[in-house]
């Protein structure tokens, strides 16, 4: 038989939510995951090269959670070789990868896990925080998340030799006065040159006809970003197409007379690309709880702010500041995504063969 006190407690438990009384809470999943992550002690991450990027992806997280980040900087092309060799030897060393071109470097290896089950924080899962109203996954299996799609700079001029405001369309490059005076990053290899020519090919107002016309301008092909930018900065060539816009921004800060033509002024705009701003969670992770905590931190406002400020990117999160980057970097509605699986397929099947034909192998 229940005592009066027991009956009273039972009534309070039943009607408490209606009256606004708080219920005794059980340890939440996030709290349990953080505790387990701290017991694991570290998370292992392959990320983009550069001290600033490394620090942005390690120091704030370590301070916040007391979990060490084992960071290996590796350009995207080197990652599949490393992971494949390790796994053949039965070694599973890495939890997450942050890189570009992940559909090409990791999807074929079948080493990624779906990201959905690892997303725990409400501010990460809430669609209102993400540009376009949802997280953008690159693949149907939702294994690769696009964190930083930004508008690329694609057209560069020496301000002493050409007026950047005079360019209103890429077709202005076809003016005979620019014949032999345009340098381009080799579009036959992966890089900004190839992305730019893929954008040209996919754009309905440019396409193959524009590429063939541009080839008739006898552009000079280089393979090194620094050579391309410096050739324009020194005035050897007045115009560059499809080179490294981040390196161009560095030279501009140094006082070199280079201007990046604002893509918003160009009739055709420019393409959107996340560069090394994609993230994937490896399967068979050595630190599964720390990996989940890190992923949620990375996709939070705090983690995204730290990363994009160091990298000069624009976050997919709407609540992350953009004042560290040029205004034209914010993605424009309807911009062509040269990183999408469809664009990649077009590039492999049509763009690269065309470029090899017109420029030689």
User: Residue 130 belongs to a domain with what CATH number?
Assistant: 3.40.190.10
Residue 292 lies in a domain: yes
State the DSSP string of 238-282: SEEES--HHHHHHHHHTT-SEEEPPGGGSTT---EE-TT-EEEEE
149-183 per-position pLDDT tens digit: 999 999 999 999 999 999 999 999 999 999 999 99
Residue 8 lies in a domain: no
Residues 350, 224 share a domain: yes
| Residue 15 scores a pLDDT above 80 | no
Report pLDDT for 27.
Answer: 55
Q: How far apart are CA 191 and CA 97, in angstroms?
A: 19
C-alpha closest to that of 296 among 31, 106, 5: 31
Residues 242, 351 share a domain: yes
43-84 per-position pLDDT tens digit: 999 999 999 999 999 999 999 999 999 999 998 888 999 999
- What's the domain range around 139? 29-150+274-329
| Residue 16 scores a pLDDT above 90 | no
| Count of domains observed in the chain | 2
Residues 221, 117 share a domain: no
Q: Tell me which residue has tokens 């080839």.
A: 215
Residue 39 lies in a domain: yes
Whether 285 and 294 have beta carbons less than 8 Å apart is answered as no
Residue 59 lies in a domain: yes
Residue 14 lies in a domain: no
| C-alpha atoms less than 13 angstroms from C-alpha of 120 in its C-beta half-sphere | 18
Tell me the C-alpha to C-alpha distance, in Å, between residue 97 and each of 68, 105, 110, 281: 16, 11, 14, 7
Residues 286, 323 share a domain: yes
C-alpha closest to that of 231 among 153, 152, 156: 156
Instruction: Output the pTM of the full model.
Output: 0.86
Instruction: Say which residues have a Cβ less than 8 Å from residue 356's Cβ, sequence separation at least 6.
Output: 188
Residues 134, 105 share a domain: yes
C-alpha closest to that of 32 among 294, 296, 293: 293
Residues 281, 240 share a domain: no
Q: Is the dihedral of CA 254, 149, 123, 75 positive or negative?
A: negative
274-313 per-position pLDDT tens digit: 999 999 999 999 999 999 999 999 999 999 999 999 999 9
Residues 175, 202 share a domain: yes
């Amino acid at each position: 038989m229940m005592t009066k006190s027991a009956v009273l407690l039972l009534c309070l438990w039943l009607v408490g939510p209606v009256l606004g009384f708080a219920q005794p809470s059980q340890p939440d999943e996030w709290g349990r995951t953080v505790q387990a992550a701290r017991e694991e002690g570290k998370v292992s991450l392959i990320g983009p090269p550069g001290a600033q990027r490394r620090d942005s992806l390690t120091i704030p997280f370590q301070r916040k959670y007391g979990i060490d980040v084992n960071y290996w900087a590796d350009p995207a092309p080197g990652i599949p070789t490393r992971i494949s060799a390790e796994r053949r030897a039965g070694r599973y060393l890495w939890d997450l990868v942050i890189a570009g071109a992940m559909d090409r470097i990791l999807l074929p290896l079948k080493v990624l896990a779906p990201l959905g089950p690892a997303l725990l924080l409400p501010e990460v899962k809430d669609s209102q925080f993400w540009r376009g109203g949802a997280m953008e996954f690159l693949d149907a299996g939702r294994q690769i998340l696009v964190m930083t799609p930004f508008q690329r700079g694609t057209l560069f001029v020496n301000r002493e030799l050409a007026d950047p405001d005079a360019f209103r369309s890429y077709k202005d490059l076809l003016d005979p006065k620019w014949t032999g005076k345009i340098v381009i990053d080799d579009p036959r290899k992966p890089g900004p040159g190839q992305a730019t020519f893929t954008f040209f090919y996919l754009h309905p107002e440019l396409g193959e006809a524009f590429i063939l016309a541009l080839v008739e301008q006898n552009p000079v092909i280089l393979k090194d970003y620094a050579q391309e930018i410096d050739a324009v900065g020194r005035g050897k060539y007045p115009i560059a197409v499809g080179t490294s816009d981040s390196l161009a921004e560095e030279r501009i800060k140094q006082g070199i007379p280079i201007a990046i033509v604002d893509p918003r002024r160009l009739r055709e705009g420019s393409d959107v690309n996340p560069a090394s701003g994609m993230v994937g969670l490896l399967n068979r992770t050595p630190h599964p709880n720390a990996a989940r905590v890190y992923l949620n931190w990375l996709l939070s406002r705090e983690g995204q702010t730290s990363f994009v400020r160091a990298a000069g990117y624009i976050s997919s999160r709407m609540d992350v500041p953009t004042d560290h980057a040029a205004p034209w970097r914010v993605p424009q509605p309807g911009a062509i995504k040269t990183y999408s699986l469809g664009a990649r397929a077009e590039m492999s099947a049509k763009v690269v063969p065309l470029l090899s034909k017109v420029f030689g192998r």
